[in-house]
Chains A and B, each alone.
Chain A
Amino acid sequence: MSDHPSTYEPKTGVEKWLDQRLPIVRLAYDSFVDYPTPRNLNYWWTFGGILSVCLMIQIITGIILVMHYVPHVDMAFNSVERIMRDVNYGWLIRYVHANGASMFFFAVFVHMFRGLYYGSYKAPREVLWILGCIIFFLMIATAFMGYVLPWGQMSFHGAVVITNLIGAIPVIGGPILTWLQGGFAVDQPTLNRFFSLHYLLPFVIAGVVILHIWALHVTGQNNPAGVEIKSKEDTVPFTPYATVKDGLGIILFLMLFSLFVFFMPNALGHADNYIPANPLVTPAHIVPEWYMLPFYAILRAVPDKFLGVVAMFGAIAVIFVLPWLDTSKVRSMRYRPVMRWFFVIFVVVCLGLGWCGGQLPDDMVFSIGTNSDGNPIGLNYVWLTRGLTFYYFAFFLIIMPWIGLKEDPLPVPASISEAILADHAKKKG
């Protein structure tokens, strides 16, 4: 809706004075008050607002934590515990920050699956989608470096494993690894620089979020019908319609958040991270945080070290080029009867990859007997992961382009208001 004319009228002298010099109130008014929003947005669309809240919560609690945290290998662990024990409300702030990361990722996954289902990446929203992918990538980097800071066993060995991924690159991997770690092992220099970058990156994310919202306001929001806004009947003003809906979504989300923070603050973490880091002993089960598990599973699915790393980064890279992989003329999967089922399978596959990422590769999913050596025969996690990984890539690289060409989509409504009328008729009938 780039052609949406500004309706802001400065009322007082001060507003007029400011509007002629820096029209910032006009910008806010046009973006968040009078902005025309599709009438048919459902609750999946509230996750954009929820994510802004998540980012704000993380930045505010993070700045407070930095006032008390000490980035030193001998003191980091104890300083985090001191925050939890002695700093006024420190337990609250730290638990909000730690669980906030999980909540942030939960919301971003929902937001991404929503974009995938309703075709929000399709022209003209490619740049909007790519900016979102950049945010997601930055979030992963930020979360990883933040997880290192308490300097527990999982922090330390997680940092070892992830930085060593870089070492898998032929020839230049070794020097880059040393450069990244600032030494020949993960140690004080690594902790210090991760702390610095963990503080920096959220502000970079905030910057990209502004670009993301800018791009959103240039193309206008997608909607469940996947048809562009045609007339004034298709829209409602952002305030109060979207604000009150987003507000309700945010409050319900905060209730889920509170359940974790106040009643099971450590449920999403690992017990091993309450053991101070010891470079000489690796925990028996080293697993990343739950939101990284699908990617970790893909890493382990490939037997070759370098190719495993390539597959893991490829799993993220493929999301970036998604706009050019989808050949369908129809945007929303509401009107794509075949693709919709492949989407459902894809969601299940992603959950399955997350599940496999938390298991030992050689453990059995199920066994149907034993062989002559007495070892169980059946499906082990590494082969299940390989199957799921294959589907993950096939979904983007084969199913997406192929189904788009072959599928007969359902009739797409001519406009958003027509889509709403059709919905109403369906409910009555």
Chain B
Amino acid sequence: MSEPEKDHGTVVGEDPNRRDFIYIAAGAAAVGAVGVIAAPLVSQMNPAADTLAMASAEFDLGKVQEGMQVVIKWRGKPLFVRYRTPKEIKEAEDVKLSDLKDPQTDADRVKKGKEQYLILVGSCTHLGCVPTFGAGDFGGWFCPCHGSHYDTSGRIRKGPAPLNLAVPEYTYLSDTKVKIG
């Protein structure tokens, strides 16, 4: 297009700038059309409306015994609800932030006054496996896939996972009932 001397279709006397503009505009229109067609074809792969409409879950904490955890399914993923023993809470609180790969205090991961209940998304931040309760070097969880160790606050301590186990959004509806999501 930018080499008019090779352009055999030139009509004598026509303004070359005007002609180039038409070609460029037509080309741009074609590119635009392809883009507009591609947009829905690509975006259909994103979560559909019903997938997005994920209900929040209510959970009765009375079901969890001290020192144990209950696993519930939430948004297609496991959710850990753990009732920590005072020893486990103390272990989690005594860790120096400088020892952590993803520094976060235990207080930031639980609700004030409810330190015994730890609610986490049970999906390893490495590649999404479900960590095993009570195993590993730090008494929290151990991921069987690639050997990530989490402490009793669900923070990553050893292994390939980059981040702490995620804490979902949740609120206390009553003393023993939480609404997650």
A285 lies within 8 A of chain B by Cβ: yes
Say yes or no: is A352 at the interface (Cβ < 8 Å to chain B). no
A161 to B143, CA, bound (A): 12
Interface members, chain B 90-137 (any A CB < 8 Å): 122-123, 126-131
Residues of B within 8 Å of A360, CB to CB, are: 147
Q: How would you classify the secondary structure of chain A's contact residues: helix, strand, loop or mixed?
A: loop
A residues 277-304 near B (Cβ < 8 Å) are 279-286, 300, 303-304
Query: Is the pair B129, A286 in contact by a Cβ cutoff of 8 Å?
Result: yes
**A161-B129, A279-B77, A280-B71 as given contacts; A182 in contact with B51, CB under 8 Å:** yes
Determine whether B174 belongs to the interface, using a CB cutoff of 8 Å to chain A.
no
Question: How many residues belonging to A are interface residues under a CB distance threshold of 8 Å?
Answer: 34
Partner of B146, one of A185, A280, A300: A300
Distance between A283 CB and nearest chain B CB, rounded to angstroms: 7
Main secondary structure of the interface of B (DSSP, over half): loop
B-side contacts of A285, CB under 8 Å: 144
Contact in complex: A161, B127 (CB < 8 Å) = yes
For B73, B145, B161, which residue has the most chain A Cβ atoms within 10 angstroms? B145
Task: Determine if A281 and B130 form an interchain contact, defined as CB atoms under 8 angstroms apart.
Answer: yes
Contact of A161 among B46, B122, B128 (CB under 8 A): B128
Report the separation of the CA atoms of residues A339 and B111 in the bound assembly, to the nearest whole angstrom. 64
CB of A262 to closest CB in B, whole Å:
34
B78 at the interface (CB under 8 A from A): yes
Residue B139 interfacial (CB < 8 Å): no
* With contact pairs A184-B75, A279-B73, A305-B160 given, residues A160 and B45 touching in the complex (Cβ less than 8 Å): no
User: A residues within 8 A CB of B71?
Assistant: 280
- What CA separation (Å) do A362 and B48 show in the bound complex? 41
Residue of A nearest to B51 (CB): A183
- A350 CB-CB contact with B under 8 Å: no
> When A285-B144, A362-B147 are in contact, do A183 and B126 touch as well, CB less than 8 Å?
no
B: which residues have CB within 8 A of A? 45-48, 51, 54, 71, 73, 75-78, 122-123, 126-131, 143-147, 160-162
* Interface residues of A, Cβ cutoff 8 Å to B: 157, 160-161, 163-165, 167, 178-180, 182-187, 189, 193, 279-286, 300, 303-305, 308, 360-362
